[in-house]
Chains A and B, each alone.
Chain A
Amino acid sequence: MSLLLKVSDLWKQYNGSPVLQGASFSFDGNGIYVLMGDNGTGKSTLFRICALLEQYDRGQVNYISNGQLLPHDIELRRKITLVLPKIGVFNTTVFNNVAYGLKIRGLEKKEISDRVASAIDFVGLKHKKNQAALSLSSGETQRLGIARALVINPQMLFLDEPAAFVDVKNREIIEEIILRLKKERKSTVILTTHDIRQADRLADRLLILVQGRITTP
C-alpha cells in the first residue's frame, strides 16, 4: 500500500520574507527524488512542512493512501520520516538510538532487537551497536540517522542534505545506502543536496526549487 504526497500551491513566509511561493509537486511512487536549490530557497522548510513539523501559510499538503486522503495526525506522522542535517543524537547507545522509534510504537523487545540489528547492519554500524552514539564520527552519525529512520519502515523517507557534513568515503557509503533503500526495501526517498553530481548519481527524478517554486529540468 503506497503513500502518495501531493503538494499544491504552497506558501510560507518568515517575518514577512517569502520562502515558498506557490510550490507544487507530487511524489507518486517508489524511487529517489532529489530536490536541489540554492541556500535559503526553502528546501528544508519544504521538508519540514512535508514531515508535518511545521505549519504553512497557504496551499495544500495531501497524503493519499488507497485513494483516501489521510488526516495530518500522529498516525500519518508515523508513516513518514525526516532525517535532519543535524540528526539530534540521543545521549545513549547506538542501539537505543535506533530502537527509539520502535519503543515509542510499543513493539516487543524481541522484534525491536531483531529490527535494530538489521538496520544497524544495513548502514554498517553493527560493530558500534553498544557504543555511545555521541562518540560517533560525523559520517557515522549521519548513517545512524538513516538507520534510526529506516528501522521504522517509513513509507516516505525525507533526507535533508544527508551527506552535507561528511567526508568522501562516508558520502559514498551514504549514497550506497540510499540506492540499496530503493532497490532492497522499495522505499520512496526524497532528498536534498547541493551536489549536482550526487543528484545525477542518485535521482530518478530531479526537482529544482527556484524562488519558492518547484521546476523540473
Chain B
Amino acid sequence: MTSIIQGFTQAFWLILHLDAELLAIILLSVKVSGTALVAATILGLPLSALLGFKRFPLKGLMLSMLNTFMGLPPVVVGLLVYLLLSRSGPLGFMALLYTPTAMIIAQSILAFPIVTSLGHSAIIAVDPIIKQASMTLGASPLQVSWTIIREARYGIMSAIIAGFGRVMAEVGAILIVGGNIAGFTRVMTTTIALETDKGNFELALALGTILLGISLLINLALHFAQKRGMAQTRS
C-alpha cells in the first residue's frame, strides 16, 4: 500500500518536474502508437469499405479471420515481425529490427484487424435506405459509398478509438522488435516492464499513471469530438 501511495506521489512529482529523458520516452510512445494507428487506419478503412460494399469470394472467410486477429497475442505478432526483420529473415536487409519503425510495424499489425473489423461493422450498420436515398438524388456509385461512410462516421471513430487503446497499452510485441533500448526504442510500457523487473515499483507505477493520463486525455478528446458532432446533428 505504501509503495502504491509513493508511486502516485512520485508520478505527481515526475509530471511536475518532467525531465528530458522521461519526456523523450513519452514522446516516443505517442509517436510510435500514433503512427501505427494512422497506418492501420489508412490501410484498414478502405478494406472495411470494400468488405462493406462489395460481394466477392472468400469475403466471409476474410471477416472471420479479421475477427480472430482482433485478439492476436502481441508476443506472437512480435515474434513474427522479429523473424521477418531479423538479419536472416526475408526483410533483414532493411535493418529495421530494434528501431522505432519495427515497433510501428508490429503495432500496426495489432491495430489493423480492430480498425478494419469494427469499421466494417459500422458501415454495414448504416440503414440500407440511405443507399437508396442517395441514389434517388443522383449520386454516382462512388458518391453513394462516400455517403454511407459519412453516415457511419461515429462508428468508424469508435473503431479508431478501440485501435488506439490496443496500441497504446501494448508491450509484448514492441519489447521483442524494439529491444527496449534506452534513448532509442524505450517507450512507456516497456519502461514499466523493465522497472517492475528491477523492483522499482514507484517509477513503474508513476509511468503507469502518466500512461493512463495520456490515454485518458486522448480518449476524452476523441470522445468529445464524437459527442460534439452527434450533438450538432441531433440538436
Point out residues on A near B: beta carbons under 8 Å: 51, 53, 74, 77-78, 81-84, 86-93, 100-101, 104-105, 131-135, 148-149, 152
Given A88-B130, A90-B130, A132-B233, answer yes or no on A83-B136 (Cβ-Cβ < 8 Å).
yes
- Please measure, in the bound complex, the distance between the C-alpha atom of A87 and the C-alpha atom of B138, giving whole angstroms: 14
Is the Cβ of B132 less than 8 Å from the Cβ of A104? no
- Please measure, in the bound complex, the distance between the C-alpha atom of A53 and the C-alpha atom of B235, giving whole angstroms: 32
B26 contacts partner chain A, Cβ-Cβ < 8 Å: no
- Please measure, in the bound complex, the distance between the C-alpha atom of A131 and the C-alpha atom of B235, giving whole angstroms: 6
How many chain B residues have a CB neighbour from A under 8 Å?
A: 20
8 smallest CB-CB distances across A and B, nearest first, come from: A88-B133, A88-B129, A78-B138, A101-B137, A82-B136, A132-B234, A132-B233, A104-B143
Is the Cβ of B234 less than 8 Å from the Cβ of A104? no
- Please measure, in the bound complex, the distance between the C-alpha atom of A195 and the C-alpha atom of B67, giving whole angstroms: 50
B151 contacts partner chain A, Cβ-Cβ < 8 Å: yes
Given A88-B132, A90-B151, answer yes or no on A77-B138 (Cβ-Cβ < 8 Å).
yes
B228 vs chain A, min Cβ distance (A) = 13
B18 contacts partner chain A, Cβ-Cβ < 8 Å: no
Is the Cβ of B127 less than 8 Å from the Cβ of A88? yes
Majority SS of interface residues in chain B? helix
Q: Which residues of B contact A148 (CB under 8 A)?
A: 137
Chain B residue nearest to A148 in the complex (CB): B137
B139 contacts partner chain A, Cβ-Cβ < 8 Å: yes
The one of B129, B132, B137 that contacts A100, using a Cβ cutoff of 8 Å: B137
B145 vs chain A, min Cβ distance (A) = 12
Is the Cβ of B151 less than 8 Å from the Cβ of A91? yes
Chain A residue nearest to B131 in the complex (CB): A88
Chain B residue nearest to A88 in the complex (CB): B133
Chain B residue nearest to A74 in the complex (CB): B140
Is the Cβ of A84 less than 8 Å from the Cβ of B136? yes
The one of B136, B140, B233 that contacts A92, using a Cβ cutoff of 8 Å: B233
Q: Which residues of B contact A133 (CB under 8 A)?
A: 233
The one of A86, A93, A132, A134 that contacts B129, using a Cβ cutoff of 8 Å: A86
Is the Cβ of A87 less than 8 Å from the Cβ of B133? yes
25 pairs, CB–CB < 8 Å, chain A vs chain B: A53-B135, A74-B140, A77-B135, A77-B138, A84-B132, A86-B129, A88-B129, A89-B133, A90-B130, A90-B133, A91-B151, A104-B134, A104-B138, A104-B139, A105-B138, A132-B232, A132-B233, A132-B234, A133-B233, A134-B233, A134-B234, A135-B234, A135-B235, A149-B136, A152-B137
B147 contacts partner chain A, Cβ-Cβ < 8 Å: yes
- Please measure, in the bound complex, the distance between the C-alpha atom of A82 and the C-alpha atom of B132, giving whole angstroms: 10
The one of A84, A132, A134 that contacts B133, using a Cβ cutoff of 8 Å: A84
Q: Which residues of B contact A132 (CB under 8 A)?
A: 232-235
Q: Which residues of B contact A83 (CB under 8 A)?
A: 136
B4 vs chain A, min Cβ distance (A) = 45
- Please measure, in the bound complex, the distance between the C-alpha atom of A90 and the C-alpha atom of B129, giving whole angstroms: 10
The one of B129, B137, B140 that contacts A149, using a Cβ cutoff of 8 Å: B137
Is the Cβ of B138 less than 8 Å from the Cβ of A81? yes
- Please measure, in the bound complex, the distance between the C-alpha atom of A24 and the C-alpha atom of B233, giving whole angstroms: 43
A204 vs chain B, min Cβ distance (A) = 23
Q: Which residues of A contact B140 (CB under 8 A)?
A: 74, 104
B186 vs chain A, min Cβ distance (A) = 44
- Residues 203-225 of B, flagged 1 when their CB comes within 8 A of A and 0 if not, give 00000000000000000000000
Q: Which residues of A contact B143 (CB under 8 A)?
A: 104
A98 vs chain B, min Cβ distance (A) = 10
Chain A residue nearest to B128 in the complex (CB): A88
Q: Which residues of B contact A74 (CB under 8 A)?
A: 138, 140
- Please measure, in the bound complex, the distance between the C-alpha atom of A149 and the C-alpha atom of B134, giving whole angstroms: 11
